[in-house]
Amino acid sequence: MRAGPARAMRAEWTKFWSARGTRWTAFLLLFVTVGMTALLASASHTDATQAGQGDDDVVANSLSGVRIGLLVAITLGVLIATSEYTTGLIRTTFAAIPARWTVLLAKVAVVGVVTAVVGLVASLVSFLVAQPVIQRNGYVAPAYPPPSLATEPVLRAVIGSGLFLAALALLSLGVGVILRSTAAAITTLVAVTFVPLIIAEPGSPLLPAEVGLWVRRLGPMAGLAIQQTRERPDTAIGPWAGLAVLCAYAVVVLLVAGWLLNRRDAA
């Protein structure tokens, strides 16, 4: 007899790949991230010709589609939770696996693995697709020496982008469990991700500069810092520290979700 968590993970894995909606979001995560990266890269341009002239982060710019792809990661994480409630399937799930923490753990494993793997492929393909485009648009040595995947900051940014998408999907799973409504969960998550990206961006007139800086440091989107490969005036937080902030949100929200899941009636 397999252990409870192993059985639950197998069941969740089958559930994930046998439902049209969730399977499509996994493919969309790849297509949207790569497609948007290609689009944004083709619109980029620089006149810098000498070393030390420009301060654009060509690695982060080659992973820019992640900022749109994150919407798909949010949807995926939310749907894994809320589709159970909108269809009433949650009662079948809990009747089959009464240990509710185990159910949540299995969902965390499936969402985490799928989004990390797909996210990693998406960020790697994005980087490989965007680099030649960006170089054609003027990002060339000596101002912009070509980044190599074999060097630490570049590799970290690419792998980290996959981890960022996974952490965000897990945060979304937790929010989905707590709110139990697809619309409410997605709205909430878009509010906490896109709104800070807009109102707290450097030079935004909507928030005092100091407040905006702290929002970028301590909001969930601090996780995007994992894409930074050079110090810029708008750098708010270190790469790993930023990703750790997002992970902390995910952990806290998932703990709250599990606690609620365990004590609420299965609606």
Q: Collapsing DSSP states into helix, strand and coil, what is residue 44?
A: coil
CB contact at 8 A, 239 and 254:
no
Binder to another protein among 52, 95, 148, 198 (CB under 8 A)?
95
Subset of residues 237 to 266 that bind another protein, contact rule: CB under 8 A: 263, 265-266
In which element (H, E) is residue 236 found? none
Cβ 260 to another protein shortest distance, Å: 13
The nearer residue to another protein, 28 or 236, going by C-beta atoms, is 28
Residue (of 259, 204, 77, 53) closest to 139 by Cα position: 53
What's the CA gap between 204 and 12, in Å, rounded? 43
218 lies in the site for another protein, by CB under 8 A: no
The nearer residue to another protein, 10 or 230, going by C-beta atoms, is 10
Binder to another protein among 51, 55, 88, 187 (CB under 8 A)?
88
Binder to another protein among 49, 53, 92, 151 (CB under 8 A)?
92
The nearer residue to another protein, 1 or 198, going by C-beta atoms, is 1
Instruction: Please report, to the nearest 10 degrees, the dihedral formed by the alpha carbons of residues 15, 19, 21, 26 taken in order.
Output: 60
What's the CA gap between 200 and 211, in Å, rounded? 8
The nearer residue to another protein, 5 or 138, going by C-beta atoms, is 5
Cβ 102 to another protein shortest distance, Å: 10
Cβ 261 to another protein shortest distance, Å: 12
45 lies in the site for another protein, by CB under 8 A: no
From the list 58-66, 86-94, 109-117, 222-230, the region that binds another protein by CB under 8 A is 86-94
Build a one-symbol-per-residue string for 10-29: x at contacts with another protein by CB under 8 A, - elsewhere.
Answer: xxx-xx--xxxx--------
What's the CA gap between 66 and 76, in Å, rounded? 14
Cβ 210 to another protein shortest distance, Å: 47
From residue 192, alpha-carbon distances to 33, 52, 77, 218 in Å are 20, 35, 15, 11
Binder to another protein among 48, 99, 109, 218 (CB under 8 A)?
99
Amino acid at 50: Q
Helical H segments across the chain, by residue range: 4-18, 20-42, 58-61, 66-87, 89-96, 100-136, 152-179, 182-199, 209-218, 239-263
Distance of CA 66 to the CA centre of its chain: 7
Binder to another protein among 42, 83, 135, 204 (CB under 8 A)?
83
Binding site for another protein (CB under 8 A): 1-2, 4, 7-8, 10-12, 14-15, 18-21, 83, 87-89, 91-99, 263, 265-266
